Amino acid sequence: MKPIGAMMWEHRLIEKMLDAFMKHVDQIEKKQIVNPAVIDMAVDFVRTYADRTHHGKEEEIFFRDLRKKNIAPELSAIMQELLDEHAWGRKTTAALVDAKEKYLQGDPSKLAEIVGIARELGHFYPRHIEKEDKHFFYPCQDYFSTDEQEKMLDEFWEFDRKMIHEKYNHVYETYSRLAIG
């Protein structure tokens, strides 16, 4: 497998999760009630899998190594667009969490905001994924030798291996700060 194959495989899971989330958003809109667990699960998936795990590999490994190459200006521009889009995704996910919290605190007007933000994310990610899959990954892989690609793939696996520990150390740190009543 090539590094882009691993990242594209992750894209397929992200697409399936977004499809399921959009079905939940349809139900939120139809029933006019938010199940916070559905939002929390989607946010956890986006933050942990799509952003930290997937975008982490892109930004901390693939893009890092591309910056060492003399890549075509149009690919450099796309890489910056992708970084900007990753930042937009983080900001928009945070806005979804904020709207959900305000909804749970009794502000029913936040239901429409939750639906709107969720739909923004649901429309954004497929376009973002298509840009990476069809316009960025394939031409960029040509900048790497077979040996460099194998080393990158090994680094991806090590990155993934560490993720579970990073996530649950964070869970512990958050949990340990909670007031015990």
Q: Map out the domains of the chain with their CATH numbers.
A: 3-170 (1.20.120.520)
**Given this model, what pLDDT does residue 165 score?**
81
Give residue-wise pLDDT tens across range 79-109.
999 999 999 999 999 999 999 999 999 999 9
Which helix (DSSP H) or strand (DSSP E) does residue 75 occupy? helix 73-104
Task: Please report how the helices 3-31 and 110-130 are oriented relative to each other, as an axis angle in degrees rounded to 10.
Answer: 160
Percent helix, strand, coil in the chain (nearest 5)?
85, 0, 15
Virtual CA dihedral for 96, 98, 100, 101, nearest 10 degrees? 160
State the average pLDDT over residues 166-175. Answer: 80
Give residue-wise pLDDT tens across range 36-82.
999 999 999 999 999 999 999 999 999 999 999 999 999 999 999 99
Query: Amino acid letter at 177?
Result: R
**Given this model, what pLDDT does residue 123 score?**
96
Mean pLDDT of the chain: 94
State the average pLDDT over residues 163-181. Answer: 76
Kindly tell me if the per-residue pLDDT of 116 is higher than 90. yes
Verdict on whether the full-model pTM lies above 0.85: yes
